[in-house]
Amino acid sequence: MQLLDGKKAGQAIRDEIRLQVAQRLAEGKKQPHLAAILIGHNGASATYVGAKVKACEEAGIHSTLLHYESDLPEHELLEKIESLNNDTEVDGILVQLPLPKQIRETAVIHAIDPKKDVDGFHPVNQGLLMQGQPGFIPATPYGIILLLKQYGVETAGKEAVVIGRSNIVGRPMSVLLSQPGETGNCTVTLCHSKTKNLAEHIRRADIVVAALGQPEFVKADMIKPGSIVIDVGITRVENPSKKSGFELKGDVDFSSVAPLCSWITPVPGGVGPMTIAALLQNTLQACLQKDL
C-alpha cells in the first residue's frame, strides 16, 4: 500500500504557484485576488474558509474575507456578488456552502461571473467540463486529478466507481475520470443513495472515489485487492478525548481498507489539502486569463 499524500503534493503545487505569483509581481503585473464570502457561524465552514484564506496569503495571493451574519437577506448577497463581479481588482469569487435557508444556492451560483467562478459551480463552467473544454473545474475533483497526476497513477481502462452524485464532487469527478487524457479513460459507474447492491459495485472497482459523507462507510469486504481508494469524506465525529471535542473521519474505514489497496488517500491529509491547492490554481488561472 502506498499513500497518496495530499499534504505533500498540495504543498508542491502551492510552492509552484508562489513562484509564479512572485514572478508576476517582479514583472509589475497584478497580484491575484480571491474574495471569499462566509455567511453565518458554521464551525466547519469557518475552518475551511480560514484555511483557504491562509493558503492564499502563503502563496502570495491577495484574499479578502467577507463575513456576514446568518440572517443576511438573499438580495444583499446577490448585490455584493454583483459588485465583486464588477470589481476589476478581484479575480476569483468564492461563496462557502452550505448557505442559510433564506438564500437560494442556485441563485448565488448563477450570480457569480463564470470568469471569476474559481469554485467551478456555475453552469457555464460545468457545461464546459461536460464538453471537455477549458474552464474552472470544481476544486475537490480537480484536486483529486492533480493528486493522481502528481503520483503518476495509471487510470486508463480501469473500472472507476464514484459514490455520491453531488454537483460539487461526484458528478464532475465521474466526468473527469471518463474523459480522454492522462488521468481519464476510465469506465465510470456513478453510485448514489438509490443504487442497488452498492457493495457489489464497489467490489468490482479498480478505483473507488468515496464522496457520500458517511464516516467509515467503505469497509475492507467491499474492496477489491490492489484497488486505488480516494476518500473525499471529512465528517466531524464527536470525541471527548480530543481537545477540539471532535475528530475527522473519512468515508473509508482506513485501518482495515488500507492494507488491501495499491494507493489510498488518508483523512486528514489526502483530498482536503489538494482541494485548497486546486482552488489556488484556479485563482491564479482566473488572474492569468485577464492578462490575455
Residues with catalytic function:
52, 96, 119
**Interface with ligand GUN (CB under 6 A), residue from 108, 139, 163, 177:** 139
Q: Which of 118, 151, 136 is nearest to 10 (CA)?
A: 151
- Contact residues for 9 (Cβ-Cβ < 8 A; gap 6+): 146, 147, 150, 151, 273, 274, 277
> CA 172, 81, 97 angle in degrees (round to 5)?
45
Burial of 267 (0-12, 13-18, 19+ CB in 10 A): buried
**Interface with ligand GUN (CB under 6 A), residue from 13, 33, 56, 96:** 96
Burial of 282 (0-12, 13-18, 19+ CB in 10 A): buried
Complex with ligand GUN: residue 60 or 141, whichever CB lies closer: 141
- Contact residues for 201 (Cβ-Cβ < 8 A; gap 6+): 161, 189, 191, 195
Q: Is 97 in the site for ligand GUN (CB under 6 A)?
A: yes
Determine what percent of the chain falls in helix, strand and coil, rounding each to the nearest 5: 45, 15, 40
Q: How many residues in the shown chain lie near ligand GUN by CB under 6 A?
A: 8
Distance in Å, CB of 97 to ligand GUN, minimum: 4
Q: Is 140 in the site for ligand GUN (CB under 6 A)?
A: yes
Complex with ligand GUN: residue 17 or 108, whichever CB lies closer: 108
Distance in Å, CB of 130 to ligand GUN, minimum: 19
Distance in Å, CB of 54 to ligand GUN, minimum: 16
- The pattern of x and - marking residues 177 through 216 that bind ligand GUN according to CB under 6 A reads ----------------------------------------
Residue nearest to ligand GUN as judged by C-beta position: 97
82 sits in which H/E element? helix 74-85
Site for ligand GUN in 151-170 (CB under 6 A): 168
User: Do 172 and 190 touch, CB atoms closer than 8 A?
Assistant: no
Q: What cell does 174 get?
A: 465521474
Say if strands 2-3 and 92-95 run parallel, antiparallel, or are unpaired: unpaired
Complex with ligand GUN: residue 63 or 96, whichever CB lies closer: 96
Q: Is 119 in the site for ligand GUN (CB under 6 A)?
A: yes
Q: Which stretch binds ligand GUN (CB under 6 A): 59-67, 88-96, 127-135, 229-237?
A: 88-96
Burial of 57 (0-12, 13-18, 19+ CB in 10 A): exposed
Q: Is 229 in the site for ligand GUN (CB under 6 A)?
A: no
Question: From its phi and psi, is residue 61 left (phi > 0), alpha (psi between -120 and 50) or beta?
Answer: beta
The answer to whether the Cα torsion of 120, 121, 124, 128 is positive or negative is positive
Complex with ligand GUN: residue 121 or 217, whichever CB lies closer: 121
Q: Is 107 in the site for ligand GUN (CB under 6 A)?
A: no
Q: Which stretch binds ligand GUN (CB under 6 A): 21-29, 93-101, 105-113, 125-133?
A: 93-101
Q: Is 51 in the site for ligand GUN (CB under 6 A)?
A: no
Q: Is 109 in the site for ligand GUN (CB under 6 A)?
A: no
Residues that bind ligand GUN (CB under 6 A): 94-97, 119, 139-140, 168
